[in-house]
Structure 1
Amino acid sequence: MAPITRASVQKIPLSYASCSIGCGSNDTLPRKLEAISKAGFTSIELSFPDILEHAAHLQGHSISADNFSTLVTVADGIRKLCDANSLTIMMLQPFANFEGWPKGSTEREDAFTRARGWIEIMKVLGTDMLQIGATDTPPDKISIAREAIVSDLRELADMLAKHNFRMAYENWCWSTHAPGWKDVWEIVSAVDRPNVGLCLDTFQTAGSEWADPTTESGLIEEVPYNVLRKNFAASMDELARTVPPDKIYLLQISDAYKVSPPLINQAIEGLRPRGHWSHDYRPMPYDGGYLPIEDVAKAVLKTGFRGWFSMEIFDGGPEGKGKKYEMEAYAKKAMESMQKLLMNCTDE
């Protein structure tokens, strides 16, 4: 496995997800980009909700998510804003609930219509990567058969390939069919397209295999703690030894608060407990979280990967109710925590 040297991690390009900063209506996209750039990040993951919000701000009213002609124009303006802040757009995200819909269904037709619209937006943004989150649609509505999932993703990959675009497939720890890194790696391997790779995530990986927001301990309690530690270490070793670095497109960085009292172990408003946890309880590293995120980052680095590390945090505070902060100071703190994580992952 590749040694993790200080010199090698200092060359890693650093990105920040646009959805991961701002805590009020005055924190507009232009101000977000300025704060991210001033903190020293060189690129962003552009969140589709940020495009919609910026469009509404410009137009004075809300814009439908399928009004692609308007959104393409708005996206062109966002690219210019990024250029002015010396930022590139590394990826458009999050494209969700795409795969597994029954053939001939309205939902499947809508998913592919959405894909075509997002591709048009990607063209004007100047990004070549689309993030796909492993669907969390309930299993009674979609097929979770592996061949159906793989077939849909191949079709999307081929659509993207026509424009030299790539797909970064991510495990969401509350996904219906692919909550772990190994699930998405098996799917990406089966899809077997040169433009399909992994979007790995410290929260999603540790959140699916180590932690549980519905327990008092915050850990998976179905097995004894020593077994949990052994299993997680074995999983990270397997990741480090089996995933080729060129099949990892990025690593997203965040931690998680231990929820107290624990979340109720049932879906609320259609969102599973780990989904709720992901949405509201994800601080930056070294800021109150408890997940073994360094273990995940080290495993990814041991593959030899030295591509994008991207800060993607959803910090609603320990109670998940929201957190007030000044964006420039917050982005600077995020950069400091990213640098600390990188240094802590080295072998030196």
Structure 2
Amino acid sequence: MSPSPAGHLSPAIVSTSLGDPTIYSIREKLEKAAVDYPSEKDLFAAAERIADLCQRLGLNIVAFGPFQRYEGLRDRARHDAMRNILKTQFLIATKLGTNTIIVTANHLPQNELSEGFILEDLKLISQWGLDLGINIAYSFTCYSTIINKWWKAWEVVKLINSPNFGLCLSTFHIAGGLGDDTSALSYKGSEESIRRTNSLVRMMEVVPPSRIFHLQVSSAVPFINSISVDHPWYVLPACFSHFFLNLHR
């Protein structure tokens, strides 16, 4: 395994951006590659068919995920169950022909999580990845319970200290987590841009590009009015499908 996949980063589009999975099938998303996978065996067969179709279309699957609600669970029996699901995720990734799995920082309620288990759990899957030739791209979200800022995720990556464990960064969640960066200036109003810039500059200074395994570019529209049953966005289409593929030509 190469020390880092960062040298192979290339423009990609996440498959969930190709259409609402409640409306469009995988076949319609990937030029009519219909897939039905009620069992584990069918999951692997589906992954192989998707990989074959992508190859014929000149697409490469650069990452698979996100795997969520895993690390830091207080309930260790629940953790073990999630660990078994993760084993299947690793196998699906190999069938898809990718060597990167995205793992998202846990966003379950605080009382269900223990910070003391986070590193232990992530070190375990990092070792699994090393054994199978799989890289782990660790992604924080601005609403993750504990690891919800870029610098917190970076600390985790440093502590795991493994060549196959790096960052998955999202412009949306980086921006969403800048509001209370205690290392930046605390000014308000017109100084807001200065404070945000300080945080981003610091990220560029302390995070080596080789430790960024995946970069997601996305944006959001701020609410003009508060959300309510009368808001046009109150009922949103499902935004995740079973397969979260990052594709590039």
TM-score of the superposed pair, with normalisation by structure 2:
0.81
Alignment counterpart, residue 116 of structure 1, candidates 64, 78, 87: 87
Which residue is equivalent to 1:29? 26
Q: Distance in 1 between matches of 2:135 and 2:176?
A: 26
Unaligned ranges ≥5, structure 1: 1-10, 36-50, 57-62, 212-221, 265-316, 324-348
Unaligned ranges ≥5, structure 2: 1-7, 181-185, 238-249
Amino acid of the residue matched to residue 107 of structure 1? R
Q: Distance in 2 between matches of 1:243 and 1:27?
A: 38
Amino acid of the residue matched to residue 97 of structure 1? R
Which residue is equivalent to 1:140? 111
Alignment counterpart, residue 82 of structure 1, candidates 50, 54, 66: 54
Which residue is equivalent to 2:174? 205
Q: Matched residue of 2:12: which SS?
A: strand
Offset at 1:320?
5.9
Alignment counterpart, residue 255 of structure 1, candidates 219, 227, 231: 219
1:163-312 aligned at under 5 Å gives the runs: 163-210=132-179, 224-263=188-227
Per-residue Cα deviation, 1:146-196 (whole angstroms, up to 9, x for no partner):
xx2111101100001111110000111100011111110111111111100
Find out whether 1:14 has 2:3 as its counterpart: no
Alignment counterpart, residue 100 of structure 2, candidates 126, 129, 142: 129
Contact 2:140-2:148 at 8 Å conserved across structures? yes
Contact 1:259-1:319 at 8 Å conserved across structures? no
Number of aligned residue pairs = 223
Contact 2:187-2:195 at 8 Å conserved across structures? no
- Output the aligned Cα RMSD: 2.7
Q: Distance in 2 between matches of 1:30 and 1:238?
A: 43
Contact 1:23-1:322 at 8 Å conserved across structures? no
- Higher RCO, Cα 8 Å, sep 6+: 2
Identical-pair percentage: 25
Residues 122 and 137 of structure 1, relative CA distance in 2, 3 Å threshold: same
Contact 2:66-2:103 at 8 Å conserved across structures? yes
Q: Distance in 1 between matches of 2:234 and 2:63?
A: 27
Q: Distance in 1 between matches of 2:84 and 2:190?
A: 48
Residues 254 and 142 of structure 1, relative CA distance in 2, 3 Å threshold: same
Amino acid of the residue matched to residue 96 of structure 2? L
TM-score of the superposed pair, with normalisation by structure 1:
0.59
Amino acid of the residue matched to residue 18 of structure 2? I
Residues 136 and 322 of structure 1, relative CA distance in 2, 3 Å threshold: closer
Which residue is equivalent to 1:70? 42
Which residue is equivalent to 2:233? 319
Offset at 1:30?
2.8
Per-residue Cα deviation, 1:256-293 (whole angstroms, up to 9, x for no partner):
111132348xxxxxxxxxxxxxxxxxxxxxxxxxxxxx
Per-residue Cα deviation, 1:180-237 (whole angstroms, up to 9, x for no partner):
11110111111111100110011011012149xxxxxxxxxx9622343222111001
Per-residue Cα deviation, 1:32-64 (whole angstroms, up to 9, x for no partner):
2249xxxxxxxxxxxxxxx9x9325xxxxxx2x
Q: Matched residue of 1:14: which SS?
A: coil
Q: Distance in 2 between matches of 1:263 and 1:94?
A: 27
Q: Distance in 1 between matches of 2:79 and 2:92?
A: 20
Find out whether 1:92 has 2:64 as its counterpart: yes
1:35-50 aligned at under 5 Å gives the runs: none
Residues 112 and 255 of structure 1, relative CA distance in 2, 3 Å threshold: same
Which residue is equivalent to 2:119? 150
